[in-house]
Amino acid sequence: MNMRQHKLALCADHFTEWVPAQVEKSIRKYRMFTPEDLVLVAVSGGKDSLALWDILLRLGYRADGLYLGLGIDGGFGYSDESQRQCEAFAKSLASGYQGMRESGNQEVEAPVGQGVPIQDPVVPDTQIPDRWLPKLHTLSVPDAYGESIPEVARRVRRGRGKPCSVCGLIKRHEMNRIAHEMGYLVLATGHNLDDEAAVLFGNTLTWQVGYLARQGPVLPESDGFARKVKPLCRLYEREMAAYCLVRGIDYIYEECPYSFGATSIAHKELLAEMERKSPGAKQNFYLSFLRAKQNGFLDDRHQELAPSMHACERCGQPTTAPGLCAFCRLWVSVEKR
Partner 1 sequence: MPKIFYRDKEWEVPTNITVRDAIKKGDLNPETVLATLDGKLITEDIHLKADDVVKLVAVISGG
Contact pattern from residue 167 through residue 206 relative to ligand SF4, giving x for each residue in contact according to CB under 6 A and a dash for the rest: xx--------------------------------------
Q: Are 216 and 287 in contact, with CB atoms under 8 Å apart?
A: no
Give yes or no for residue 314 binding Zn ion (CB under 5 A): yes
Give yes or no for residue 312 binding Zn ion (CB under 5 A): yes
Among the listed ranges 4-12, 127-135, 212-220, 288-296, the one in contact with Zn ion (CB under 5 A) is 4-12
Partner in contact with 163, chosen from ligand SF4, partner 1, Zn ion, none, beta carbon below 5 to 8 Å by kind:
ligand SF4
Instruction: Report the candidate in 185, 186, 169 with the shortest Cα–Cα distance to residue 329.
Output: 169
Contact pattern from residue 267 through residue 306 relative to Zn ion, giving x for each residue in contact according to CB under 5 A and a dash for the rest: ----------------------------------------
Given the complex with partner 1, which of 24 and 194 has the nearer CB atom?
194
Give yes or no for residue 252 binding ligand SF4 (CB under 6 A): no
**Amino acid, single-letter form, for residue 182:** M
* Residue from the set 4, 14, 276, 302 that interacts with Zn ion by CB under 5 A: 14
Q: By rule CB under 6 A, what count of residues binds ligand SF4?
A: 7
Q: What is the 3-state secondary structure (H, E, C) of the chain?
A: CEEHHHCEECCHHHHHHHHHHHHHHHHHHCCCCCCCCEEEEEECCCHHHHHHHHHHHHCCCEEEEEEEECCCCCCCCHHHHHHHHHHHHHHHHHHHCCCCCCCCCCCCCCCCCCCCCCEEEECCCCCCCCCCCCCEEEEEHHHHHCCCHHHHHHHHCCCCCCCHHHHHHHHHHHHHHHHHHHCCCEEECCCCHHHHHHHHHHHHHCCCHHHHHHCCCEECCECCECEEECCCCCCCHHHHHHHHHHHCCCCCCCCCHHHCCCHHHHHHHHHHHHHHHCCCHHHHHHHHHHHHHHCCCCCCHHHHHCCCCEECCCCCCEECCCCCCHHHHHHHHHHHC
* Residue from the set 68, 226, 244, 256 that interacts with ligand SF4 by CB under 6 A: 256
Partner in contact with 205, chosen from partner 1, Zn ion, ligand SF4, none, beta carbon below 5 to 8 Å by kind:
none
Give yes or no for residue 328 binding Zn ion (CB under 5 A): yes
* Residue from the set 97, 236, 258, 289 that interacts with ligand SF4 by CB under 6 A: 258
Given the complex with ligand SF4, which of 142 and 279 has the nearer CB atom?
142
Give yes or no for residue 106 binding ligand SF4 (CB under 6 A): no
Minimum Å gap between C-beta 259 and ligand SF4 is 4
Minimum Å gap between C-beta 120 and partner 1 is 28
Given the complex with ligand SF4, which of 77 and 168 has the nearer CB atom?
168
Q: By rule CB under 5 A, what count of residues binds Zn ion?
A: 7
Among the listed ranges 47-55, 97-105, 197-205, 326-334, the one in contact with Zn ion (CB under 5 A) is 326-334
Give me the residues paired with residue 43 across strands: 67
Q: CA geometry: angle at 162 spanning 161 and 164, to 5°? A: 155
Among the listed ranges 13-21, 43-51, 158-166, 280-288, the one in contact with Zn ion (CB under 5 A) is 13-21
Other Cβ atoms less than 10 A from the Cβ of 302: the count is 13
The binding site for Zn ion (CB under 5 A) comprises 11, 14, 312, 314-315, 325, 328
Site of interaction with ligand SF4 (CB under 6 A): 163-164, 167-168, 256, 258-259
